[in-house]
Amino acid sequence: MSSELSPTPGLRNNSASLRRAISILLQLGDETDGTGYSIAELCERLGLNKSTLFRLIQPLLEARLVEHLPSGRYRLGRRNAQLGNVYLTGLDLPRSMHDVMQNLAAQTRETVHLVVADFPNIVYIHKVDSPHSVRMFSRIGNSAPVYCTSVGKAMLAHAAPATVDLVIESGMPRHTPRTITTAEDLRSALSEIRQRGYAIDDIEHEEGIRCVAAPVFDHSRACTSAVSVSAPADRLPRERVPELAPLVIAAANEISTRLGAVP
């Protein structure tokens, strides 16, 4: 019989000290400008007195999970980067996100895609098919242009200006009568996407297909993937886009959270 201990389902750990120590790490994780928190700020935000905070933070300092800055403030330590890299290295993106995509497909009853950027193109890396007999034809591993796909535009809207220039300079040939083919129109569309939080392929890449996509962000706040819902245009009229967009955004946010993105 193995002597290893494993968590018991439904059993709550009542270690108050451990929970408070974790709350310190989570609070430090919310800080985004690199200046850290003072002891007074941590006490106020966490509802702890100074003596308790000092007691809890000491083992975190020793484990290098928390760093004491010359300014006297505290921030997350370098050990967190090591732990994060171990987690991300073991993360199989398609397999790890399949349940999110499956749930989105069940909610919308349409095909869901997960793609990654390979500017000026995108590459399909995972797919959950619609239950309908008439569905979008696509294959894992296939690529498509960034500028005329919802997933591509969702990512490009958060890309560096040099990346946008690369896409434009690579050419924007027309695929359908609705395809965006000018730099001015593309830049305008990207600005709208940033404001509303999602992108639309309004029959721009394939005749008769409309898609709604949202960007996925990783732990470094980079946007190199996106998730979408795709369907025949008669089943996904423009009037249905406001209904689907919040569902796609929620799925993208869940995937982002799993990748370590800060909300």
Residues 191 and 102 in one domain: yes
pLDDT per position as a tens digit, 100-146: 999 999 999 999 999 989 899 998 888 998 877 655 666 777 889 99
pLDDT for residue 113: 94
Whole-structure pTM value: 0.68
Both tokens assigned to 255 = 């995937």
Residues 81 and 99 in one domain: no
Decide if 184 is inside a domain.
yes
How many Å separate Cα 103 from the centre of its chain?
Answer: 16
pLDDT per position as a tens digit, 4-52: 444 444 444 458 888 899 999 888 877 666 788 999 999 999 999 999 9
DSSP 239: G
CA distance 233 to 206: 10
CB proximity list for 226: less than 8 A, separation 6 or greater: 114, 115, 122, 150, 151, 152, 154, 155, 199, 213, 214, 215, 216, 252
Decide if 145 is inside a domain.
yes
Decide if 7 is inside a domain.
no
pLDDT for residue 131: 78
Decide if 2 is inside a domain.
no
Q: In the structure, what pLDDT confidence band is assigned to residue 89 with cuts at 50, 70 and 90?
A: low
How many domains are there within the chain? 2
Decide if 1 is inside a domain.
no
Show the domain range for 233: 91-258
Domain harbouring 52, CATH code: 1.10.10.10
Q: For residues 221 and 215, which has the higher predicted lDDT (pLDDT)?
A: 215
